[in-house]
Amino acid sequence: MLLTSVSTPFPAPFRVHRLKPKAIVPLLSASFSLAAPATHVARQGCDLITIIDYYQGSSTGDCGVEVSAGGSITAGVCLNVETQGVVVHSLPDNDCTVKLFFGSKTCGDGVDATSTTEVPAGNGTSCIVTGVEEPPWYTGSLLMSCDC
């Protein structure tokens, strides 16, 4: 049993319970791995995942106003975008590149990448102005690749 009662001057509902020393180590290691913020998901091969936030009112050099936070983008998987800007969060240990395909929902279909944005390893973010306004008339997609 992990819990043991300790005598206290408090009535029964307020008794203090302490963990046995041997039980603390596995619980601490589990709690640290579960409590860490989810900036990326463990890789499967080189399919790294990071956070992407969506913005409107973007202009050159400015991502505008955040309208949705906490989405995800996966390396090697095309992501359709419907906002004027996005912010891609860096991975701690991997440099990534995000290609924008303006005019394509599928990262191609005869459309070459219109811009490439470097997302260096660390804990920063990179703003990408997509130019996508009023879908479905304007479309765009992103494709991320990372160094593994």
Tokens of 52: 């992407």
Coil, strand, or helix at residue 32? helix
pLDDT tens digit at each of 148 positions of the chain: 334 444 444 344 433 333 333 443 333 333 322 222 223 333 344 789 999 999 998 887 789 999 999 999 999 999 999 999 999 999 999 999 999 999 899 998 788 999 999 999 999 999 999 989 877 778 899 999 999 8
Rounded-to-10 torsion of CA 108, 109, 111, 114: -20
Per the CB < 8 A criterion, the answer to whether 78 and 141 are in contact is yes
| pTM: predicted TM-score of the whole model, two decimal places | 0.67
